[in-house]
Every structure is written in structure tokens, then in C-alpha cells.
Amino acid sequence: MLAFKTLVLWIHLTGIVLWIGGLCFYGLVFISMFGKGKSLPPGVPSLLARVLHRFIRYSKEIIGAIILSGVFNIINSGYGIGFQFSTNYMTLLAVKILFFLIILGIQIWFSIRLAPALAALAENSDEDNLPSFRSLRGKIIGSTVIVLILFAAAMFIGLYLRYL
């Protein structure tokens, strides 16, 4: 049973590191490198759009693993106590799942709004696209900072739950 519990927590934490790590690398490191000069080097919007599209495609399985391992975490934690969770535990778990859903919402916004906008820029990358690229970049960086704050809070709650 211990090996199973450990495996589930391992999948849970590895999935979170890969997902949030990928979102933060794209939003805070990769896209912030571009758009500082007088023009966008040709091919940059297309590269950014393709990388975002590819990450979103891969992250679907990772998000599935986080949710599934989260559910198994609930079963593993509740099994020994007849699922008599304290109100405190349930409240904190609910807050953590809410933070997870907000991060997921931001990723869905990336995929249905920002990725197509980047791809549209790729179709027509010349001088006057710089302002719209900069506004897209600002939205991606800004929402990634929110992802980072929510992730840090969810991590803290996750560890705190262990000791409740």
C-alpha cells in the first residue's frame, strides 16, 4: 500500500512540475525574449505559435495525470479514516482545487485565444505587427505570473494537508 501511495504522490508532483514548469518557461522566459527591438525577426510569431500549440497538446495527458493522482490521493488519505475528513481539510482541498481550475482556465484561454492570435500574427509578420505582438506578450507574461502565484499557494496547501 505504501508503495502505491508513494507512486501516486510521485505522479502527482512530477506532473505538476512538468506542467507548471512548461507554462512558466514559455510565459516568463521564451516569449519575453522577443519584441524588444524595432521589429520582430521573421518567423518568430510562427515559432512561438507552434511551440505553444505543441506544449498545450502534450500538457493534456499531464493534466489528466494530475487530476487522476489527485483523486487517488483523496482515496489514499481518506481510506484510513473512513473518509471522515475534517472541515479544515475539505476547505483547504477545495481551495487548492479552485487554484488548479483557475490555472487550467488560463491554459484554456492560451489555447483558444492567444495561440490563434499568435498564429494570425505569423501569417502577416511585418513592422506594424509589433504593437499587437507586444500586447499579446504582455497578456501571456501577466497571466503566467498569476499561474506562478496560484501554483505556489497550491503547493503550500498540498504540503500543509499532509500534516492536518
Choose the binding region for ligand HEM from 53-61, 91-99, 116-124, 125-133 (rule: CB under 6 A).
91-99
Residue 90 CA neighbour count, 13 Å, CB half: 6
Nearest CB to ligand HEM, comparing residues 96 and 137: 96
Q: Tell me if 104 contacts ligand HEM by CB under 6 A.
A: no
The CA distance from 12 to 31, in Å, is: 27
Q: Shortest CA distance to 13 belongs to which of 163, 143, 159? A: 159
* 80-101 CB burial, b ≥16 within 10 A, e <16: eeeeebeeebeebbeebeebbe
Q: Tell me if 71 contacts ligand HEM by CB under 6 A.
A: yes
Q: Site for ligand HEM (CB under 6 A): which residue of 14, 77, 111, 132?
A: 77
Q: Tell me if 159 contacts ligand HEM by CB under 6 A.
A: yes
Nearest CB to ligand HEM, comparing residues 136 and 154: 154
Q: Which residues contact 113 (CB under 8 A, 6 or more apart)?
A: none
Q: Tell me if 118 contacts ligand HEM by CB under 6 A.
A: no
Residue 128 DSSP class = G
Q: 7, 128 in Cβ contact below 8 A?
A: no
Q: Tell me if 106 contacts ligand HEM by CB under 6 A.
A: no
Quick check: helix, strand or coil at residue 82?
coil
Give the x-and-dash track for 11-30 against ligand HEM (CB under 6 A).
Answer: -x---x--------------
Residues of this chain that bind ligand HEM (CB under 6 A): 9, 12, 16, 66-67, 70-71, 73-74, 77, 93, 96-97, 100, 103, 151, 154-155, 158-159, 161-162
